[in-house]
Chain A
């Protein structure tokens, strides 16, 4: 887990708390699609599946995870959009 002080600043923040699979990924994909290449997108979900799904989605889509932070049942990931 990344130290919260070192986490990058996100240009886009996605709140997927309370949503279940596949909705956090759908919301994340939507946000990444409309972001600019190089921008950082932050997604937070309460679905614990995101802990595995976020890295899997990054591998599938070839975007980069630049930070992760969990507190209680809230899990956040920071993605850098690497390509259009």
Chain B
């Protein structure tokens, strides 16, 4: 005895449902694909010559590879973008003392090790000169010419008694949101 089976058919979907599905499929594919992140941000927190040199090497290398680069200078990193002739006296006493004790300037950064009261950096500068390695002020210029975005952290500028006039020209004076807005779109985010 044959059992009557009705052919299994998929109930036809109403056209509006199909349309909605067709809309969803490409959107799902888009959602699965993460947005392309490209480029580099570097928080330059340190003010020592060796670390800063490494930061600039990466920045300049990335910019030369066509990648967008942001360098965010904060805390001791502000020494790198402080004008060597920035005024030291005339703020409140604490900040005047601070500026005299730590004048800043890309040409007078100490080393993390091997500093020996400033002898180490001189020796290192001489060795690097023999190898035709650019100095920090030269790297800063190079970075600028390659459109590396230079950002000075306003909060640490305030703490250290630095005004815009005390710094070499930068692209912006800003805070953490500016840094994060760039960092979110980049593949490499470094803290040096």
Contact = CB atoms under 8 A, between A and B. Distances in A.
A23 B133 CA distance: 8
B160 interface: no
By Cβ-Cβ distance, the 3 closest A-B pairs, closest first, are A29-B64, A22-B61, A60-B65
A61 B133 CA distance: 24
B131 A22 contact: no
Interface in B144-162: 146
Interface string B124-137: 00000001111000
Interface stretch (A4-12, A13-21, A36-44, A70-78): A13-21
A60 B133 CA distance: 24
A80 to B, nearest CB: 16
B189 interface: no
B59 to A, nearest CB: 9
By secondary structure, the A interface counts as helix
Interface string A26-62: 1011100000000000000000000000000100110
Nearest to A27: B64
A25 B61 contact: yes
B143 to A, nearest CB: 10
Interface of B: 57, 60-61, 64-67, 131-134, 142, 146
Nearest to B134: A23
Query: Size class of A's contact patch?
Result: 10 to 19
Interface of A: 18-23, 25-26, 28-30, 57, 60-61
B57 A21 contact: yes
A61 B60 contact: no
Contact of B132 (A20, A25, A26, A57): A20
Contacts of A60: 65-67
A6 to B, nearest CB: 28
Contacts of A23: 132-134
B183 to A, nearest CB: 20
B65 A57 contact: yes
A26 B148 CA distance: 13
Contacts of A28: 64
A57 B61 CA distance: 9
Nearest to A25: B64
A9 to B, nearest CB: 25
Contacts of A30: 64
A61 B64 CA distance: 9
B31 to A, nearest CB: 27
